[in-house]
Structures are given as structure tokens and as C-alpha cells.
Amino acid sequence: MLSLIGLIGGLLLLIVLTIRGMNLFIAAPLCALLVTITSGLPVFIGEHNFIETYMQGFSAFIAAWFFMFLLGSLFGKFMEDTGAADALSHWIINKLGRKQAVLAVVLACAVLTYGGVSVFVVAFSVYPMAVSLFKDANLPRRFIPATLAFGSVTFTMTSAGSPEIQNWIPIKYLGTSPFAGWEVSLGVAIFMASFGFWWIRRMLNKAVANGECFEVRDHDPKIKTRDYPHPFTGILPLLVVLILSFILHTHLQQMALIVALGGGVLCLMLINRNYFNNLQHAITAGTTGALIAIGNTAAVVGFGSIAKSTTAFQSAVEVMTHIPGNELIGAAIAISVIAGLTGSASGGQVIALPLIAPHYVDQGVDPEELHRIVAISSGALDSLPHNGYVVTTIRAICHETHQRAYWPLGALTVVVPLCGVTVAIAIFSFV
């Protein structure tokens, strides 16, 4: 009982500290230490002590996914520095019209995310344009994080064919491809996109009706006037990433994403070599951004590794993997809860899949169906306030507070994916 109280208390404390703005590199180990003590695990000396267990989870995640984060960050930073991302976003906006501010931002994020740009980098790249569009439309700026997140981490991040790691982690454990269950995935993505867009428009209209409007701030980014490349130079590298990942995934599995992102980076450097504003700065910023992004995620994965070692967690997994009835429902619940505990879709998958994949495959569950359910459900409860992407987007990028900006973001990135995975399970079960 004390272990369960400590596990729940540690998670709640992590959420509270995150909402209050504490750095995840401090908050996550501190809360993990609380879980360790209440579960009776050794702290400094002994087998599977706190230091070893936390750092094993932290370092293992970095070792497994460092090159994906690095190349994804460099790809996004090169898209930004050459002006390719802005050119592509401007093209989308010009086609839609500036009055369609929300739709323009969502589509810009969706195209970049599905093209392989790290969701962290997408937010950095599109934010300046989002500010300009929201200002022109006089929309409350506290909805900018929700708009960025909706276009990045819902209907694109976990869909079939997505180069994002949340769609690639299950391959290692299920022997599937990134296009697993693509027919159902397409329908679910359309549902989530439509439902989420309707919801954010409804929230915005209500806020505007209550008198909310755009607030100008001194630190608002200024979009520089420059010679932009043709929008096609932003589309071609995205196509390179998608095509290479499709061709190579059968032979290289997860390594195909490294090759695909590397190809995208080289393509960008070749076709936009004359448009680099500052190549050295882009490389430095890209590598630094990758380290921050993977570090924030790994810090929470370390917390998850401690949680995984407790008797309360093992009991919870045992209960969740033996939920009677539809196996896909059990898998969705297990992945969602564990991703919520770790505060990371990718981290939750890394922890949960070694435990649940063999269990459900042995029961005869179709690996492709399981892959898609795991991917979509991992992108729901992971977006609790302590999630690394949520913290970075709200605080570091948009300069907002959780109190102002989290609730619309949480609605779109928690509730919408939960509805999406429900639809996916229904289709897989009855078709």
C-alpha cells in the first residue's frame, strides 16, 4: 500500500512541480527519489539502487534514440535557417488566407511533423508565424500552444507512415512496419483532425465572446524580411525522408529512420545551400536543441524506470495486462497509463512494450493492429503537465504559464487521442 501511495504521490508531485515551473532535470529525480524511499528500494548501496536504476533508464533512452533526435533537430533547424520552413508555411497560409489563422498553423505543423521534423523543432519553427497570424486575427495568444500541439502531436505524430519515433518504437518489439494498420490509421487521423479542429474553434469563439483578445508583448518574435527559397525546396526534403523510410524500413527497421533523416538533411544542404543564414549557428542550435529535447524526455524516462521497479507498478501492469475482454482495450489502457506515469509517449512505449508485447502477441493479437493501438494510445495521457514537450512548448517557446495555456492544450492532446484510440479499437474489432 505504501508503495502505491508513493508511486501516485510521486507522479502528482512531479505534475505539481512542473506546473510551478521547476526544471525537469531536478523535478524528475527528486520525485523518483520519493518513489524509491516509499517503495523500500535501496537508495545508494545495493542491487538496483536509486542511482543505478534512474541512470540506466536515462542513459538507455539516450543511447537508443540520440541519432533520431539529433538528425530530426538538425533537419528542422536547417529548414528554419534556410527559410524553407517559412517558405512552406507562407505558401500554406497564402493558399488558405490569413483569416484562417488556426487552420494555417495546424496545417503547417502537420506537414512538418509528418515530414519528419521533430515535434520540438516544429513548435520553434512555426511559433513566430503563429504569433503574427493570431495578432492579425486578434485571437487570444494563450491558445497558441494548443494550436501548435494539436498540429504536431495528435493526428500526425502517431499515424501510419509518420517518421516520428512514437510510430517507430513498436517495430522493434512487434516486427511490423511504420505503415502498420494504415487503413484504420487514416480514418482515425481524419476523425481526430476534424474533431480537434472543431473543438479548438469552439474554445476560441467562446474566449473571444468573453472579451479575450491578442496581447502584444515586447519579446514577440519578428519575422525577418529575406530572400526565401521556393516552397518546393521545403517539400522535397520531406518527401526524401518519407520515401527513404518507406523503402528501407523492411531491411533496416529503426535504423531506416536515421538514414531517412540523414538523407533529408543532406538534401536540404544541397538544394538550399545558397539560402543558409548562418550554417554554423544552425548546427550549434540544432545539436543543443536535440540535447535539451532528449534530455527532458530521458529525465522523465528515468522516473519511469524507478516507477517500473516498484511492487506497485508491477502489480498495476499485472492487472492491466489481464483485463478481461478485448485485448486491444487492455493494451490501450496499459500503454496510456504507463505513458501517463512516465510523462512521455516514447518513454512509455520503451518501458511498456517489453512487458505487454509478448503477452498480447502470444494471445493471438494481430501485431499490426497492436502497433497502431500502441502508437495512438501512447499519445494521450503522455501529455499531462509534466511532459517534456508540453513544458518546452508552453514555457520556453510560447512564454506562457500552465495555468493559462495548459487546459486547451490538454483537451486537444489528451481527450482527442483518447477518442481516436476508441474509434481505432472499434474499427479493428468489428471490421
Phi-psi region of 324 (alpha: psi -120 to 50; beta: other; left: phi over 0): beta
Dist CA 174 CA 196 (whole Å): 30
Average pLDDT over residues 362-374: 90
- Count the helix, strand and coil residues of the chain and give each as a percent rounded to the nearest 5: 75, 0, 25
Dist CA 98 CA 330 (whole Å): 44
**Number of helical (H) and strand (E) elements in the chain, helices listed first:** 19, 0
pTM of the model: 0.76
Q: Which distant-in-sequence residues (6+ apart) come within 8 Å of 374 by Cβ?
A: 170, 331, 332, 335, 349, 352, 353
CA proximity to 278, closest of 97, 52, 78: 78
Q: How far is CA 58 from CA 44, 137, 205, 301, 384, in A?
A: 17, 43, 42, 6, 20
Dist CA 370 CA 97 (whole Å): 40
CA proximity to 303, closest of 6, 1, 95: 6
From 93-102, 170-179, 405-414, the region with the lowest mean pLDDT: 93-102
pLDDT tens for each residue of 39-48: 888 888 777 7
pLDDT tens for each residue of 16-40: 887 777 888 898 899 999 988 888 8
Contact 396, 12 (CB under 8 A): no
pLDDT tens for each residue of 107-163: 888 887 887 666 766 777 678 778 877 887 788 999 999 999 999 999 998 888 887
* Domain spans of the chain, in order of start: 2-430
pLDDT given for residue 225 in this prediction: 65
Residues 360-384 as b or e (16 or more Cβ within 10 Å = b)? bbeeebbbbbbbbbbbbbbbbbbbb
Dist CA 108 CA 112 (whole Å): 6
